[in-house]
C-alpha cells in the first residue's frame, strides 16, 4: 500500500530503475523587475494530478509550505502571484 510507510520495498520484485534526470541551470535575477517578481512567488502546489506528490507526508509539506509562504508574503507586504510563463524582464 503506497500510503503505508512501514512497508519494506522489495527490490527483487520491483528494482529501482532510473528513467530520467533533470538539470536546472542557474538563473540570474539581474533587473529590479525580475527581483520584485521573484520575491512575490510562492511555494507552488499545482499541475497535473498525475504529477502531484502523493502520501501524507507530502500533504503535510504542502500545508506547511503554504503557511510559511503566506507568512513571508504578508510580512513583506507582497501580493502572491503565479507565473504564467509569458513574463519578460528587461
35 pLDDT more than 70: yes
- Smallest Cα–Cα separation from 68: which of 51, 84, 80? 80
Work out the number of other CB atoms within 10 angstroms of the CB of residue 70. Answer: 13
CB 33 within 8 A of CB 89: yes
Query: Does residue 72 belong to any structural domain of this protein?
Result: yes
| Per-residue model confidence as pLDDT tens digits over 50-86 | 877 788 888 888 888 888 888 988 998 988 888 888 8
Number of structural domains, the chain? Answer: 1
Region 32-52: what's the mean pLDDT? 76
32 pLDDT more than 90: no
Distance from C-alpha of 70 to C-alpha of 24, rounded to nearest angstrom: 26
Query: Does residue 81 belong to any structural domain of this protein?
Result: no
Q: Buried (b) or exposed (e) across 30-50, using 16+ Cβ within 10 A?
A: eeeebeeeeeeebeeeeeeee
Query: Does residue 6 belong to any structural domain of this protein?
Result: no
Query: Does residue 16 belong to any structural domain of this protein?
Result: no
4 pLDDT more than 80: no
Q: Give the CA distances from residue 57 to residues 4, 7, 66, in Å, rounded to whole numbers and listed in that order.
A: 11, 15, 14
Q: How confident is the model at residue 25 (pLDDT cuts 50, 70, 90)?
A: very high
Tell me the percentage of the chain whose pLDDT exceeds 90.
14
Domain range for 68: 42-76
Amino acid at each position: 500500500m503506497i500510503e503505508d510507510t512501514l512497508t519494506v520495498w522489495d527490490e527483487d520484485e520491483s528494482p529501482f530503475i532510473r528513467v530520467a534526470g533533470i538539470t536546472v541551470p542557474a538563473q540570474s535575477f539581474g533587473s529590479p523587475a525580475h527581483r520584485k517578481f521573484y520575491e512575490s512567488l510562492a511555494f507552488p502546489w499545482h499541475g497535473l494530478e498525475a504529477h502531484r506528490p502523493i502520501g501524507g507526508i507530502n500533504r503535510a509539506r504542502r500545508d506547511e509550505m503554504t503557511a510559511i509562504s503566506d507568512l513571508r508574503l504578508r510580512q513583506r507586504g507582497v501580493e502572491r502571484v503565479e507565473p504564467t510563463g509569458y513574463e519578460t524582464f528587461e
